[in-house]
A and B are shown apart, each in its own frame.
Chain A
């Protein structure tokens, strides 16, 4: 079974939308790597006079077991990047997988925003950046899906 379609056969706008998604996911990846390192070095765990406290990152919701949530986010963004690149180069199978992964990330983002707003009562700027990236990814995929339907 062959799954790859030459890029030339793919509508150009959809290819560019996947490339844009790949670039956006790199921002999310950099953000998540930064947060993971901060978590691993303990820099986000304490309060200081200069940088204040990180109520969000020191909360129990910032970990899944002993794994920092940011590390899972970094892995997710890398998966999104890989799938977006494959989709941009015409690999059809990557497209539904990308939609599934981004949808799951978007639902997780909504849950994390709820936790920050109503449970922890504090917002983390890096988490908000990640939420913005995931929302943008979701929007791009929805728009490209709609355009594809209209082609």
Chain B
């Protein structure tokens, strides 16, 4: 019996480990489901108007992103989204909504204000791209505003007005309106994606999962 004891222990630990992993996986998925966001019904707040839209305005598929410029995963998906937008071309339009995670990200709110202030001069997407492309450079800087003003200059923004808009009501109202929509939809993480109103769930959260959701939306739109 003693000869087989170590093997029995090993098999028993393997069985317990696999069982524990399975239980934990199930409970994590159930917790994820219970955290799921609501499906937009049209009755929730519309968010800031007009929204920031990139791509064909009359595309059959709309991808709505709730993002934070200091969120590293949003930074990764910034590049992925550019590729995906290229793949789907005129069939896809992208809406960006502000969801700065305060206090998780020390500069998240400032970055959202900078992007919205740039938007008031018609340069939202230029600043959006600038912030994500340089995310690592500014994320850990203590006083980030000089860098943001430098980005504004680089994309041709009139900086005096930009400085006033940063603390103005229009910028604050846009972030607040996007936040109200996020809250109504139960958004609690960034990035969160909705494709024609359907959320990209945690268990399929990947660039390919996003592509699948877009393809399903496209086939659904074609079937209507």
Contact = CB atoms under 8 A, between A and B. Distances in A.
- Which applies to chain B's interface (DSSP): helix, strand, loop or mixed? helix
Interface string A104-124: 000000000000000001000
Interface string B8-52: 011001100100110011001100100000000000000000000
Contacts of B73: 45-47, 53, 58
Given A41-B203, A42-B202, A26 B104 contact: no
Interface string A78-98: 100110011011010000000
Contacts of A36: 21
Contacts of B28: 37-38, 41, 43
Interface in A8-42: 26, 29-30, 33-34, 36-38, 40-42
A48 interface: yes
Contacts of B20: 30, 33
Contact of B189 (A34, A41, A46): A46
Interface residues of B, number: 37
**How big is chain A's contact interface, by range?**
35 or more
A22 to B, nearest CB: 8
A82 B25 CA distance: 24
A34 B71 CA distance: 23
A118 to B, nearest CB: 13
A39 to B, nearest CB: 10
A49 interface: yes
Contact of A46 (B13, B14, B190): B190
Nearest to B3: A4
A53 B104 contact: yes
B5 A48 contact: no
B68 A47 contact: yes
B71 A78 contact: no
Interface string B54-72: 0000000000000010011
A88 B5 CA distance: 11
B13 A47 contact: no
Contacts of B140: 121
B146 interface: no
23 contacts: A4-B3, A33-B17, A33-B20, A37-B28, A38-B28, A40-B203, A42-B202, A43-B28, A43-B202, A46-B73, A46-B189, A46-B192, A47-B101, A48-B190, A49-B102, A49-B188, A53-B71, A53-B72, A53-B104, A58-B72, A85-B6, A86-B10, A89-B5
Interface of B: 2-3, 5-6, 9-10, 13-14, 17, 20-21, 24-25, 28-29, 32, 68, 71-74, 76, 101-102, 104-105, 140, 188-192, 202-206
Interface of A: 4, 7, 26, 29-30, 33-34, 36-38, 40-43, 45-50, 52-53, 55, 58-59, 74, 78, 81-82, 85-86, 88-89, 91, 121
